[in-house]
Amino acid sequence: MSAVVVQDLVKRYGTLSAIDGIDFEVASGTCFGSLGPNGAGKTTLIRILTGLVKPTSGKAIVAGWDVSKKPDAVRGAIGVVSQAMTTDLDLSGRENLDIYARYYSVPSKERRERIAYLLDRVELSDRAKDLVATYSGGMRRRLEIARGLIHKPKILFLDEPTIGLDPQSRRTVWDLLHQFLQDEHLTIFLTTHYMDEADFLCDRIAIIDRGKIKIMDSPALLKESIPGDDIVEIVTVARQDGMVNPPLAEVVAELSAHNFVEQIIQKEEGPYTEGDATESHHLQVYVSNAAEAIPVLMSSLQKQSLKVQSIGLKQCSLEDVFIHYTGRSIRAEEGHKVNFFIGAGVPRRMGG
Ligand SMILES: Nc1ncnc2c1ncn2[C@@H]1O[C@H](COP(=O)(O)OP(=O)(O)O)[C@@H](O)[C@H]1O
Ligand SMILES: [Mg+2]
């Protein structure tokens, strides 16, 4: 059975389509991630699914109920951890959980047991009596996850669960969610703009950009779906000998003449350690066989008298998947444009 079914969902704010006609299903007992940059529509989507915002059109079925028709039934079956921290600073950790348990009418004996169990699971038992105001960000987030699970929901929704946390706290939250997924017969729906988070936690990922799903698959298949088996990363820098490097178009033409080259992407940011950025290039060359390609690419670059700062083999990451399907980098706030040179046509898995 599907925990979530979304059909042709649209949410407009005036002329802006925050959600622009999306369809997907989330299988029960799995972790589904909506991955996208700022403004992609992730929070809007989670708000629709949790009954906080009405869609303009389309359908969302959550835990078997239509969110628009049975919002109360949906609310009873789900837990929500919103992007902003919402636990009460003036109450202790235990009191925060107790209020929620009462709100969901958890009977008193069960309430005590559930609170003790969850505090233990999120490693806050020894801080349960302390005011949340004294908690670190990571502790507060863990308490919010416990709070979201207080009434044994079928589905837990989390909007950017580790935003703003230090790397170690992020890792703790991941491990926690991973464990809960296994132990609580839970379905998890999360949004994130962190590639590594989606990669670690999610069974399936929908890459979302400007309100649309660009592609949806398991992390492994997403990585397989982009052209080239290997990515050779080349960074060239301005020459020190008074000569100028050949223009980018010439470099690209030379490199793409090799038949093992499937696609070349120019990244806008460095890493340049020397010289003038306008004369420096950061290229990712997607090739079928890096071991064969690297020496040939090196001699091409030498033939053009390019000053190469580095050339190396890069593992395909979800970042590369994201760039391939959206033409933008997720890291930059506004999304840096990247230039595709060859093979940037219809992605293999979408073109069908
Ligand atoms: N209440 C609102 N009124 C008008 N525009 C909104 C509202 N909520 C979100 N938006 C717009 O919808 C788009 C998607 O926003 P959001 O869902 O918050 O994205 P994300 O969570 O992926 O960063 C953005 O352009 C945002 O400005
Ligand atoms: Mg958001």
Check residue 56 and give its pLDDT: 98
Q: Starting from the CA of residue 39, give the closest ligand.
A: 1
pLDDT at 346: 32
Q: Where are the domains of the chain?
A: 2-217, 224-351
Distance (Å) from CA 288 to ligand 2 centroid: 37
> What would the CATH number be for the domain defined by 224-351?
3.30.70.260
Q: Which atom of ligand 1 is nearest to the CA of 41?
A: 17
Residues of the chain falling short of pLDDT 70: 240, 269-279, 328-352
- For 98-136, the pLDDT digits (tens) are 999 999 999 999 999 999 999 999 999 999 999 999 999
Nearest ligand to residue 42 Cα? 1
**CA dihedral in degrees (340, 345, 347, 352; nearest 10)?**
180
Q: How far is the CA of 210 from the centre of ligand 1 (A)?
A: 10
Name the DSSP letter for residue 204: E
Q: Looking at residue 274, what is its pLDDT? A: 62
- Taking the mean position of all CA atoms in its chain, how far away is CA 310? 29
Instruction: Output the pLDDT for position 249.
Output: 85
Return d(Cα 338, Cα 34) in angstroms, integer: 22
Burial 154-192 (b: 16+ CB within 10 A, else e): bbbbbbbbbbebeeebbbbbbebbeebbeebebbbbbbb
**Distance from Cα 76 to the centre of ligand 2, integer Å:** 23
DSSP 238: -
Q: How far apart are CA 162 and CA 174, in angstroms?
A: 8
Cβ(231)–Cβ(286) below 8 Å: yes
| Alpha carbon of 33 to ligand 2 centroid (Å) | 13
- Say what the pLDDT of residue 339 is: 61
Give the distance (Å) from ligand 2 centre to CA of residue 110.
Answer: 34
Quote the pLDDT of residue 302: 86
The number of the ligand nearest the C-alpha atom of 35 reads: 1
Residue bearing the CA closest to ligand 1, atom 8? 44
From the CA of 161, which ligand is nearest?
2
For the chain, the helix, strand and coil percentages under 3-state DSSP, each to the nearest 5: 35, 30, 35
| Ligand 1 atom with the shortest distance to the CA of 37 | 22
Identify the residues whose C-beta falls under 6 Å from ligand 1. 13, 16, 18, 36, 38-44
Task: Name the residue among 59, 60, 39 with its Cα closest to residue 49.
Answer: 60
* CATH code that applies to domain 2-217: 3.40.50.300
Residues by chain with Cβ below 5 Å of ion ligand 2: 42-43
User: What's the gap between Cα 150 and its chain centre?
Assistant: 26
CA 310 to ligand 1 center in whole angstroms = 40
Q: pLDDT tens-digit profile of 9-33?
A: 999 999 999 999 999 999 999 999 9
Q: What is the pLDDT of residue 329?
A: 65
pLDDT of residue 277: 56
Nearest CA to ligand 1 atom 11: 18
44 alpha carbon – ligand 1 mean position (Å): 6
Relative to the CA of 211, which ligand 1 atom is closest? 14
Task: Decide if 2-217 and 224-351 have a common fold.
Answer: no
